[in-house]
A and B are shown apart, each in its own frame.
Chain A
Amino acid sequence: DIQMTQSPSSLSASVGDRVTITCRASQGISYSLAWYQQKLGNAPQLLLHTASTLESGVPSRFSGSGSGTDYTLTISGLQSEDFATYYCQQYFSTPQTFGQGTKVEIK
């Protein structure tokens, strides 16, 4: 199975901050990388796929980049509604695997 290592596991930030979350795969996944947002008590929601393609309806302050084994989610100008847990997921091979999550908290 491909292991996904996400960092940091948590971070504190203020409204308006730029936030970066990284995800490293144990082998190359050829841009087959998605990011999800999960708010407390709710199901995850797809934010980006194919490493950098924004899902319909997702604000443009979310962006993704990366290639090979290393990928990044950036939130440019954190908003109050962005405080949540974020997960990366590789779908290059079965089983699809998730990172352990990054909890974004209010500073």
Chain B
Amino acid sequence: EVQLLESGGGLIQPGGSLRLSCAASGFTLSTYAMSWVRQAPGKGLELVSGINTRVVGTYYADSVKGRFTISRDNSKNKVDLQMNSLRGEDTAIYYCAKFVGGSYHDPFDLWGQGTLVTVSS
């Protein structure tokens, strides 16, 4: 079955760090660009970060630039998001999403179920 499974969310104090992981199955991860999209409680969708097939091509929203780092390990079929210096406004469900192709000029055709990150003291 083709699917994405996120893990690593939880409750963290402001200023803390979390590492989210997205495990891909049922397809060859190396062929596709991948991303993390978040949704704050009761709000819309925001693209947080993306990584293309060449790995060196990464993207970050201005709101997380310098604090978050996306990486991928095609041999392990996973994509990670290292989140540092977390703030209350980072509280959201974080979805792992797969682009249709290898670049950012595609929609997302597969989403994980999401993992909740709550930043609070």
Chain A contact residues, CB within 8 Å of chain B: 32, 34, 36, 42-46, 49, 55, 87, 89, 91-92, 94-101
Contact = CB atoms under 8 A, between A and B. Distances in A.
A96 B50 CA distance: 10
A92 to B, nearest CB: 7
Interface residues of B, number: 19
Given A43-B114, A95-B59, A89 B44 contact: no
A60 B109 CA distance: 18
Contact of B104 (A42, A91, A101): A91
Contact of A46 (B50, B59, B107, B113): B107
Contacts of B104: 91, 94, 96
B105 A98 contact: no
Contact of B106 (A45, A91, A95, A99): A91
Given A46-B108, A87-B44, A97-B47, 7 more contacts: A42-B113, A43-B111, A44-B95, A49-B107, A89-B45, A91-B105, A98-B44
A68 to B, nearest CB: 18
Nearest to B57: A94
Interface of B: 44-47, 50, 59, 61, 95, 100, 104-109, 111-114
B109 A46 contact: yes
Contacts of A94: 50, 59, 104
B6 to A, nearest CB: 10
A91 to B, nearest CB: 6
A98 B45 contact: yes
Contacts of A99: 44
A55 B108 CA distance: 11
B41 to A, nearest CB: 12
A90 B100 CA distance: 14
A32 B105 CA distance: 8
